[in-house]
Structure 1
Amino acid sequence: MDRKKLVEFKNVSFQYEEEGALVLNQVSFEIYEGEWVAIIGHNGSGKSTIAKLLNGLLMPKDGEIVVDGQKVDDDTVWDIRKDVGMVFQNPDNQFVGATVQDDVAFGMENRGIPREEMRERIQRTLSAVRMQDYLITEPHRLSGGQKQRVAIASVLAIAPKVLILDEATAMLDPTGRKEIMHTVNDIQESEGLSLITITHDLQEIVQADRVIVMNKGEIWEETTPRELFLQRESLREIGLDVPFVAQLTDELMKQGVELKEAALNHEELLEELWKFNSKM
């Protein structure tokens, strides 16, 4: 069965100032229902602009953006925002409630969702991000990672078809980042929604179905994480740090260790090392 096309960028260009340089130049791609797509690139590559265009926070200079069959424009923007939820890098900017449950309820209240259904969604979404024990906690008492999980729950509660995480782990420590990505992976599998993660950290893309690499406002590459990690030198040339596992694999192969060229994580690398050791 053919997958449903949920997001389309059709030759989209954008510039912030009338006479300024193009931030996006003739960008085209598609995202399908239930798919996890990572959009990566260095600062200024255009990746966060894509997120704002998708949500109608910005409008394209040229080209067309379609979300679930609707063209994004001034007339449809509020309908589009029901389908496209966004989580930004600083969760404090998204909190409006006095407690965690108030914050998750806010978006649903604005949409007139019945109170009984709101209660069910609050419980379900907070459980999905493992924050069900913090219902009456004040947001400012939470850690950075906990705040980000609540921000994700608040967006999930309005039942979007597309969830965008725009550098959502950038302000977290390594442990917090790992927790959020684990949460995101669980949610994507259980909720079946389309997920777009926008990042400059290649460690965060390993579980994505597909990766779009942005460079100087254009699509530099569109591939899978495993295939992308084979392009280590090219990634360095456009300012992206290669994950440690890929660097270690590189060094081991130079020393004559026969390994799969694109181990995505430590587990795969250890398995390859075990196989190599068994042959000796």
Structure 2
Amino acid sequence: MSKKLVEFRNVSFKYGEKEPWVLRNCSFEIYENEWVAIIGHNGSGKSTIAKLLNGLLFPQEGEIIIDGQQVNEDSIWNIRKEVGMVFQNPDNQFVGATVQDDVAFGMENRGFPREEMQQRISETLSAVRMQDYRLTEPHRLSGGQKQRVAIASVLAISPKVLILDEATAMLDPSGRKEIMDTVGRIQESNGLSLITITHDLQEVVQAERVIVMNNGEKWKEASPREIFSEKDALRKIGLDVPFVAILAEELKQAGVSLTAAPLNQEELLEDLWTLHSRT
């Protein structure tokens, strides 16, 4: 069994004494090399979870454990070596005059030797296919290119956990696909634990496991297929389901006997082709 890397133990959080709880008694675990998507309506606590994981916030109740260390003010710098985070707007993360300066920044702060920094800059920019833009000023890049550089900057410090907090929300569909293809490839090759916090259903179906948040509490935790099989329950808490799942449901109601619960176009086409071959 894979090693337990992240633990939320009965975590509760609110932004002020008189404010309502944003998270209430939230518990879950994430393992090495696992891809987990966290979804929920606006205000459900998703982004607060991301900030708690990275030590930008601390819980009022409960514990957060990252790779065996409790997240607190004493451990925060060790935790941030283990947890990298990419936000919705990459412009907020750029600090360097050029792409390579930006990728180098986190390593400089951690005292990496210069030769190792040069090697990691080349490796991470190659991993996100931005090696030809080393000397480019970040503001001259497209939205998708900026996100790839932001991901390279995080990967350069070799985190064990990579968090994408709505990191593709500002991109068009082709840009989102490009980033998620890049991230999926890197996650597989680097053995990262990947946590995606997103509204994009196509990102969710790529994950191994989904945690659904509702009003600050964990509503359900299961595989994407299991989660999206509960269409009516998801709609009741303000969430949508993939179009392919809706289409498959309508086909079943029309008498088409699909053998599975497809999550994407490829699975639906394969199911329909199998059904056609039998008739």
TM-score by length of 2: 0.98
Which structure 1 residue ranges, 5 or more long, are not aligned? none
* Within-5 A mapping of 1:126-145: 126-145=125-144
Which SS does the other structure have where 1:227 is aligned? helix
Separation of aligned partners in 1, 2:200 and 2:227 = 13
| Deviation at residue 203 of structure 1 after TM alignment | 1.7
Decide whether the 8 Å contact of 2:124 with 2:156 is kept in 1. yes
Residue of structure 2 equivalent to 1:29: 28
Paired with 2:44 and 2:198, the residues of 1 have a C-alpha distance of 11
Q: Distance in 2 between matches of 1:98 and 1:250?
A: 51
Partner of 1:252: 251
* Residue number in structure 1 paired with 2:155: 156
Residue type matched to 2:236 in 1? E
Q: Which residue in the other structure is 2:167 paired with?
A: 168
CA distance in 2, matches of 1:43, 1:260: 34
* 1:250-280 deviation per Cα after TM superposition (whole angstroms, max 9, x unaligned): 1211111111342121111110010111122
How far did 1:201 drift? 2.1
Q: What is the aligned partner in structure 2 of residue 100 from structure 1?
A: 99
Could you tell me which residue of structure 1 aligns to residue 146 of structure 2? 147
1:220-261 Cα deviation digits (max 9, x unpaired): 000001111111111111111211111111121111111134
Equivalent residue number for residue 188 of structure 1: 187
CA distance in 2 between counterparts of 1:40 and 1:128 reads 27
What is the CA distance between 1:149 and its match in structure 2? 0.6
Name the counterpart of 2:121: 122
Amino acid across the alignment from 1:113: F
What is the distance in 2 between the residues matched to 1:131 and 1:206?
Answer: 27
Letter in 1 for 2:65: V
In the alignment, the residues of structure 1 paired with residue 101 and residue 212 of structure 2 have an alpha-carbon distance, to the nearest angstrom, of 37
Give secondary structure in 2 for the equivalent of 1:22: coil
Counterpart in the other structure of 2:84:
85
The letter for the 2-side match of 1:55 is N
Which amino acid is the alignment partner of residue 228 of structure 1?
Answer: I
After superposition, residues 210-221 of structure 1 pair within 5 angstroms as 210-221=209-220
Whole-Å Cα distance in 2 between the matches of residues 42 and 135 of structure 1? Answer: 38
Q: Distance in 1 between matches of 2:251 and 2:145?
A: 38
Does residue 1:240 correspond to 2:247, yes or no?
no
Q: Which amino acid aligns with 1:245?
A: V
Q: Deviations over 1:128-183 (max 9, x none)?
A: 11111111111111110110011000000000010000000111111111111111
In the superposition, the TM-score normalised over structure 1's length comes to 0.98
Task: Give the Cα–Cα distance (whole angstroms) in 1 for the partners of residues 186 and 227 of structure 2.
Answer: 25
Stretches (4+) displaced over 4 A: none
Contact kept? 1:249, 1:261, Cα under 8 Å: no
When the two chains are superposed, the root-mean-square deviation of aligned CA atoms in Å is 0.9
Structure 1 position 15 matched with structure 2 position 35? no
After TM superposition, give the deviation of residue 207 of structure 1 in Å.
1.7
Identify the residue that residue 272 of structure 1 maps to in structure 2.
271
The answer to whether the 8 A contact 1:43-1:200 is kept is no
**1:109 pairs with 2:102:** no
Q: Distance in 2 between matches of 1:152 and 1:250?
A: 37
Aligned-pair CA distance for 1:202: 2.0
| Number of equivalent positions | 279
Cα offsets for 1:29-81 (capped at 9, x unmatched): 11111111111111100011000001110010100001011101111111111
- Give distance in 2, aligned partners of 1:121 and 1:62: 38
Structure 2 residue 37 is matched with structure 1 residue 38: yes
